[in-house]
Amino acid sequence: MSVDLTYVEQQRPNLGRQRAHDSRSRGFPTRVGIDRSRWVTKLLRIYDPLPNPNQCHGECTGVAKCMQMNAVGNRVKGVILNMDNAHTIYHTATAIDEFEGNWPPEDTGSSGLASAKAAQKLGLGGEYLHVFNGADEVVQLIQQNHVVSVGTWWYDDMFNPDGQGVIQATGPKVGGHQYAARGYDRKSDLVIIRCWWGDYRDVKIKRDHLNQLVLDEGDAHIQTRVS
């Protein structure tokens, strides 16, 4: 067993994804067959808590986990996880992960893998499986009604979607971010991702651009609700 770590220097307070690839994850893939000919435009509903959340710390791994577990078909009936839950997941994840520092008080970020382990430990999530075939597998899982938690580098221009809500992975790297892939626009070949940031919720990114991000030290996984 080995864990390959990259500490990601964060230049914005609402970034916090750290890279942790555990060799044991290879034994738990999603095992989906990719069939682009059957892809359709699809948008999976995520129940957002009220008032509208606004992530302002490095708890993006916990936020992405809450969005994943708030998705239609994957949430416990009558339960909507909120920012308090995201903080609890993040706090637990920082104690589980291999990176120095725990939040609070040290806002050092954490990994998507640790968020899945934390959700299990807290009784908020069940089995988790890993994505190894890039953005195509992310889209295939969306087609099969899974919201995918994705962790990648985040570039400065990704904070500024254009008039159509599309982001570009350009400009300087400013840290790492975990987000929830919840939809696909077949006509434009765009993947729809959600954050809990105040000015916008959903943004879109070209599938091939997301693929480049995932293949550049990224990670992605799905997790089932607790049974």
Total structural domains within the chain? 1
| Pairing between β-strand 200-206 and β-strand 3-6 as defined by DSSP bridges | unpaired
The domain that contains 219 carries what CATH number?
3.90.70.10
> What single DSSP character describes residue 29?
B
Residue 64 CA: distances (Å) to CA of 23, 85, 90: 23, 11, 10
Whole-number pLDDT of residue 60: 97
The residue ranges of the chain whose pLDDT is under 70 are 1
Whole-number pLDDT of residue 226: 85
Residue 57 in contact with residue 16, Cβ under 8 Å? yes
**DSSP labels, 96-146:** HSSSS--TTT----B-HHHHHHHHHHTTS---EEE--SHHHHHHHHHHTT-
Residue 10 resides in a domain: no
Task: Tell me if the pTM is above 0.95.
Answer: yes
The pLDDT tens digits for 78-129 are 999 999 999 999 999 999 999 999 999 999 999 999 999 999 999 999 999 9
Instruction: Read off the tokens for 13.
Output: 């307070």
Q: How far apart are CA 31 and CA 10, in angstroms?
A: 33
Q: Classify burial at 162, counting beta carbons within 10 Å of its beta carbon; exposed 0-12, middle 13-18, buried 19 or more.
A: exposed
Residue 91 resides in a domain: yes
Instruction: Read off the tokens for 174.
Output: 């400013």
Short-list 152, 124, 121, CA closest to 221 = 152
Which range marks the domain in which residue 122 is found? 55-223
| Pairing between β-strand 190-197 and β-strand 219-223 as defined by DSSP bridges | unpaired
